[in-house]
Amino acid sequence: MSNRLAEESSPYLLQHAENPVDWRPWGAEAFDEAQRRNVPVLLSIGYSACHWCHVMERESFEDPTTAELMNESFVNIKVDREERPDVDSVYMKAVQAMTGQGGWPLTAFLTADGEPFFGGTYFPPEPRPNMPSFRQVLQSIRGAYEERREEIVRNAGELKELLEKSSTERTEGPVTQDGEALSGPELLDHSFRFLASRFDPTHGGFGGAPKFPQPVTLEFALRVHKRTGDPEALEMVTRTLHAMARGGIHDHLAGGFHRYSVDARWLVPHFEKMLYDNALLGRLYLNAYQATGDPELRQVAEDTLDHLLTDMCAPTGGFYSALDADSEGEEGTFYVWTPSQVHELLDKEAADLFVRCYDVSEAGNFEKANILHLAHDLVAVAQREGMDVEHLREVLQDARQVLLEARKLREPPFRDEKILANWNGMAIRALAEAGGALGQPRFLEAAVNGLDFLLGSMREDGRLRHSYKDGTARIDAFLEDYAAVGNAILTVYEATLEPRWLDEAAWITERVVDLFWDDASGLFHDAPKDGEALAVRARDLMDNATPSGNSLAVELLIRSAHLFGDERQGDIAQRVLDREAGFMARFPAAFGRLLAVLDQTVADPVEIAIVGARDDARTIDLLRAALTPYMPNRTIAGTAPGEDLPHKLPVLEGRDPGTEPGPEPVAYVCERYACKAPVSDATALAAQLSEVGCRKPS
């Protein structure tokens, strides 16, 4: 018999709707029931593509004996962390404070007032060394709550005070020789050197196993190279991206990347695929291609973004959240191959080459099967085979397509089809950048369609919504939603120069300040001022798998202030950068996006104004030339002759179309408050741009 989750829309909650546990969704009704019964709350948080969430469900939540104990002793609440990031943030910090670690599934025990007093992550069904069974935990918590209630309530209150203090405190970082706090270029240099000391020069990436892609950190390194010309910064990025692209973390057949690698060399992934990972990595590969011209990086960028269009795009124009790690009850089954499977599908020459290049062996590298990865340099293989490397690439491309079509006949992983505003904003931004920089209309069209969906179907009564599924938008959006979508709007504007996006950019930036900024404390909060009151108001400064809402908001304000000339927005952004300088200096790996934004304030801004009819091929060529190079500190604005824009843009001041010498489209490039001669030729514009925005090392 179904429990109360059967009426929910979240795929993760619906996965638990048939559990014998009397699960309830998050809400006042559950806490009222805990008050009425005088029992604690058991809060379980996870997400649909979480492997260990599935394991704990099978082992404990589907077990009648465990479920009976849970139902008798607790009010049980299930939360989808992707649907309620505010709830997840508050209780994840609580569990980390209590245990020193966190992760999913997250298991927290709360008083009936919602204050946490004990927690952990995964608990096994039977005791293990240094790890009690889940039933033992349940029995211990029940006994403690009955016998030591006052102590538990007092400790919960103290933990709440600690969480409140930690969410608003400042920290001091390293200082200069003169005793001044690090800021500006010195802070950026210190942070980069810290990250460089943790770089893995053999396999790329940072640290050892398990190894996460960390695209936000690599984005910061790429900006450092652009601003300073430091070759080490570029080497960190390209070595990592090439190693990932050739490793098992990369889906060599359909494109895109899995969540992370369980080893240090990117071979064996945790097989779930997340929208945000592929949005951030697709954009990073694109930017690295723009910075280097390396065709391999471009190909991976296109394949990753095509994966979003093929496997993650909803008919509405939005993008789905995730593909599960499991299929047929096992992790990775959908993705792995044996030599016999390859030989059955390909002719002998192609099969022999494929198994050699992708290291497909009888012994296997994962559960007696093989995760595809490029184990050998293709040039060296071609030389050994006495064949042209381009011919080898063609053979492998054809083979991959054959295997991909065969793979489509397997039972696919579960797809979480809820649409989240923040992750969609990241995907739309990546697609818009790629569409403009690569001249690929399919990417730009998908970006515009996605943004139209978000601002149409996920905006109600002047407020953005966080989640959408089955025709219904739910839950007031959070800071990360508004800021991610806002940055996407600005990128789509630059890629199209369509005036309608100016109104949307102004609206969403105003909402970010009105709903989330506290001027008295100088803080952005993750949840809106009029949102649901939790035990502690959610505020997560650090980047996790995605950039923090705080860093995305500061980035949006910096970009918007430059485009619209709004001094207050720029002042707010600078206040946050100054306030969090200590955190950035002490924990650079957790502040990659905010460091990238700080870099944007230090590097020389580049402004490009384009005046010309948007449907004129010459205007289109000028815009393409402006979008092609890697220029992270670039602002582009445009207008058509005789057009009355809805907003005054400083970039266009003095570019009145009525004063132009003729109908020919014109582009203006300005850097450090000095402008170059106007040009009407895309080649000339590209030449001007090649001379700005980068400083070589001294």
Question: pLDDT tens for residues 475-510?
Answer: 999 999 999 999 999 999 999 999 999 999 999 999
pLDDT at 178: 57
Q: Is the pTM of this model over 0.85?
A: yes
Q: Is residue 177 part of a domain?
A: no
The burial class, CB within 10 Å (0-12 / 13-18 / 19+), for 232 is: middle
Query: Is residue 423 domain-shared with residue 566, that is, in the same domain?
Result: yes
Q: How confident is the model at residue 698 (pLDDT cuts 50, 70, 90)?
A: very low
**What residues pair up with 610 in beta bridges, in sequence order?**
638, 667
Tokens of residue 200, six digits: 């893995």
Query: Is residue 462 domain-shared with residue 399, that is, in the same domain?
Result: no
**Residue 136: is its pLDDT beyond 90?**
yes
- How far does the chain reach from its first CA to its final CA, in angstroms? 71
As a whole number, mean pLDDT of residues 214-236 equals 97
Average pLDDT of the chain, as a whole number: 93
pLDDT at 695: 52
Q: Is residue 175 part of a domain?
A: no
Q: Is residue 696 part of a domain?
A: no
As a whole number, mean pLDDT of residues 251-255 equals 98
Query: Is residue 358 domain-shared with residue 308, that is, in the same domain?
Result: no
- Please tell me the distance from the alpha carbon of residue 239 to that of residue 205, in angstroms, as a whole number: 8
- Please tell me the distance from the alpha carbon of residue 467 to that of residue 139, in angstroms, as a whole number: 36
For the beta sheet containing 666-671, the strands, ordered from the edge strand earlier in sequence to the opposite edge, are 634-639, 606-611, 666-671, 674-675
Identify the top-confidence range among 129-133, 280-284, 380-384, 613-617: 280-284
**Residue 13: is its pLDDT beyond 70?**
yes
- Please tell me the distance from the alpha carbon of residue 206 to that of residue 543, in angstroms, as a whole number: 15
Q: How many domains does the chain have?
A: 4
Query: DSSP letter string over 638-695?
Result: EE-TT---SS--GGGTT--GGGSSSSS-EEEEEETTEEPPPB--HHHHHHHHTTSS--
- CATH code of the domain containing 685: 3.40.30
- Please tell me the distance from the alpha carbon of residue 10 to that of residue 320, in angstroms, as a whole number: 12
- Please tell me the distance from the alpha carbon of residue 436 to that of residue 283, in angstroms, as a whole number: 12
Residue type, 125: P
Query: Is residue 507 domain-shared with residue 420, that is, in the same domain?
Result: yes
Domain boundary (409, 431, 464) is at 409
pLDDT in tens, 660-683: 545 799 999 998 768 899 999 999
Domain boundary (119, 141, 168) is at 168
**What residues pair up with 319 in beta bridges, in sequence order?**
313
Residue type, 326: D
Q: Is residue 232 part of a domain?
A: yes
Query: Is residue 323 domain-shared with residue 432, that is, in the same domain?
Result: yes
pLDDT at 696: 45
Query: Is residue 399 domain-shared with residue 434, that is, in the same domain?
Result: no
What is the share, in percent, of the chain residues with pLDDT greater than 90? 84
**Residue 183: is its pLDDT beyond 90?**
no
Tokens of residue 600, six digits: 């944007």
- Please tell me the distance from the alpha carbon of residue 435 to that of residue 583, in angstroms, as a whole number: 35
**What residues pair up with 607 in beta bridges, in sequence order?**
635, 670
- CATH code of the domain containing 481: 1.50.10.10
Query: Is residue 253 domain-shared with residue 377, that is, in the same domain?
Result: no
Coil, strand or helix: which one is 78? strand
- Please, are residues 34 and 40 in contact by the beta-carbon 8 Å criterion? yes
Query: Is residue 155 domain-shared with residue 233, that is, in the same domain?
Result: no
Considering just the CA atoms, what is the radius of gyration of the chain in Å?
Answer: 26
Of 651, 606, 652, 609, nearest to 632 by C-alpha is: 606
- Please tell me the distance from the alpha carbon of residue 94 to that of residue 118, in angstroms, as a whole number: 8
Alpha helix positions (H), 408-475: 421-438, 441-457
- Please tell me the distance from the alpha carbon of residue 121 to that of residue 102, in angstroms, as a whole number: 6
Residue type, 220: F
Q: Is residue 611 part of a domain?
A: yes
Tokens of residue 163, six digits: 């969480």
- CATH code of the domain containing 77: 3.40.30.10
Q: Which residues contact 498 (CB under 8 A, 6 or more apart)?
A: 492, 614
Query: Is residue 595 domain-shared with residue 614, that is, in the same domain?
Result: no
Query: Is residue 631 domain-shared with residue 670, that is, in the same domain?
Result: yes
- Please tell me the distance from the alpha carbon of residue 1 to that of residue 18, in angstroms, as a whole number: 6
Q: Is residue 426 part of a domain?
A: yes
What is the share, in percent, of the chain residues with pLDDT greater than 70? 97
Range of the domain at 49: 4-168
Q: Is residue 173 part of a domain?
A: no
Backbone angles phi, psi at 529, to 5 degrees: -60, -35
Q: Are strands 419-420 and 415-416 parallel, antiparallel or unpaired?
A: unpaired
Query: Is residue 127 domain-shared with residue 275, that is, in the same domain?
Result: no
Residue type, 338: T
Q: Is residue 591 part of a domain?
A: yes
Query: Is residue 24 domain-shared with residue 146, that is, in the same domain?
Result: yes
Domain boundary (393, 409, 425) is at 409
